[in-house]
Structure 1
Amino acid sequence: MESIMTKCMKCGVYIADNTDKCPLCQQVVAPVELSSDNHQGTEWVFEQHNDVPDKCVNDTDSAAKRADSTASHDNGTRYPDVKGASRKYRLLENIILFLSIVGQIVLTTVDYMTDNEINWSFIVLLVVIYANVTLRLAIVGRNGYIFKIVSTFVFTVLFLEGIDLLTGASGWALTFVFPSAILAMVLATIILMIVNIRNWQSYMMMQLFLVLMSVIAMILVAVKIIWFPYLAMGAMGASLFLFLGTLIIGDKRARTELKRRFHI
């Protein structure tokens, strides 16, 4: 007998409830069809309950599913301890944040007392903010790797734009870095789709994000903020062709993914 469930590709667990995200890592889950033969006694599924948030249960033993959930959660043998790594580095994050604040105060004081033409302490401030945000979101954060890649892209562009503004506002960050970052993201998306070819459709939202960023780049070209248009045009073409190619070649599977993401 076959049943339709969802599976988290990151944690490797099946979820019995009608939910879009894994209760462990919050990553979007994918629908799968299971028969009683191919997961009997070996796979574990999650069910959400109003009284107890997370229940780890065996699909073949409904009578003992709640009695075993607490013990399995404690000893970590039933499903991955996703929060363990975050707890391990939490203290290190706070120490780095504290040292960053103290160091920034000292450097700002020195910058003020020396009275330079360029307030270099603001550049250091941007570096400190970028380093702490990258550490918390992209390295030790609990979000999926797609979110980490996108957030790193956004903060890197913002960081370099801030450096550009503080060093004369010549526009090199938006003109060269922004479209180059889009092209790099397009290449990274293609590589990720090849590596994770069984779940290639999960990268369609990243493709839409790149198309949106390319449209913004072309708008900046139209208003003369980006004064070298060819990189922006290349980024627009690459991101648009990648999305259209995935949508057309992926056919029904690609359309189903978009409908699921946008709840159409």
Structure 2
Amino acid sequence: MNRCLKCNVEIGDDTGICPLCRCVLLRDKDLKTQMKYPAVGQKKERMKYAVRVYVFAAILGFVVLCIINYMSGAAVRWDLLTGGVLVYGYLTLQLSFLNQNGYRFTMFWQTLGAMALVIFIDGILGFQGWSLNYVLPAGLVLLDIAVGVLMAVNSRNWQSYIPVEIVMIVLSLIPLFLHHIHVTDQWYPAIGCFGISIFLFLGTVILGGKRAVTELKRRFHV
């Protein structure tokens, strides 16, 4: 017996075309095989639609908050603060629902997004400098710790995290640069952040031995 998925009718003979809509019929055994697999495409489309609904609601809400903030004459731009949170929410949805690059990519960019949000909040509140002095180095240290934990958990493929460690060393130069140009006035968080990134990388190379050296040669063709 064949079935038409469009008309939802069963055809008793062996014909392959639905007499109602002229679509190709699906055999019962093929239908059973098809039902074993989840409708991944439909689920992804629903996620995309949910993200679009969020974007529309976020834009509408932000415009309303801007109007309220302007009419109330508030000293603090809390509408911009809310807008920053909404943008971070959109980043979270994109990384959680629509991202296909794996958990490392998600963890990395979501942490950087959180640090950017905190710096933005500091700027809106008059920029006291606490975000760049403390939050930025602390966030990078947390990323270093997360990389170390993931390497320990994924011990069979720990060498794949070496490029991430190199990226962390480059990022840890940012607090040092900000202190050098006198944007920040606290040097010990910047030095500590850079030192931890260097320590993690050197520890990986020294303890990893030949596997670490081989991974570096493979990645950078040296």
> What's the TM-score once normalised by structure 1's chain length?
0.66
Residue 112 (structure 1) aligned to one of 70, 74, 79: 70
TM-superposed deviation, 1:263: 4.6
* Cα distance between partner residues in 2 of 1:219 and 1:76: 57
Separation of aligned partners in 2, 1:227 and 1:205: 30
SS in 2 for 1:203: helix
| 1:201-216 matches, cutoff 5 A | 201-216=159-174
2-structure distance, mates of 1:138, 1:263: 33
Greater relative CO, 1 or 2 (CA 8 Å, sep 6+): 2
Supply the AA of the counterpart residue of 1:127: V
How far 1:77 sits from its partner (Å)? Answer: 7.9
Given the superposition, is the C-alpha separation of residues 85 and 182 from structure 1 closer, same or farther in structure 2, using an over 3 Å criterion? farther
> What 5-or-longer segments of structure 2 have no aligned partner?
1-29
Which of the two has greater strand per residue? 1
Pairing 1:126–2:80 present = no
Q: Structure 2: how far apart are the matches of 1:85 and 1:249?
A: 44
Query: TM-score scaled by structure 2?
Result: 0.77
The answer to whether the Cα contact below 8 Å between 1:86 and 1:142 also exists between their aligned partners in 2 is no
Question: Number of residue pairs matched?
Answer: 191
Distance in 1, Cα, partners of 2:165 & 2:86: 30
Q: Give 1:147 deviation, angstroms.
A: 1.0
Extract structure 1 runs of 4+ deviating beyond 4 A. 74-78, 80-85
Letter in 1 for 2:162: M
Q: For 1:151 and 1:172, how far apart are their aligned partners in 2?
A: 21
Identity, % of aligned positions: 34
Bigger proportion of residues as helix: 2
RMSD: 2.5
AA matched with 2:119 = E
Q: Secondary structure at the match of 2:74?
A: coil
Deviation string, structure 1 residues 35-54 (Cα, Å, up to 9, x no partner): xxxxxxxxxxxxxxxxxxxx
In 2, distance between residues paired with 1:206 and 1:163? 28
* CA shift in 2, pair 1:143/1:76, >3 Å: farther
1:229 alignment counterpart: 187
Equivalent position to 1:218, from 165, 172, 176:
176
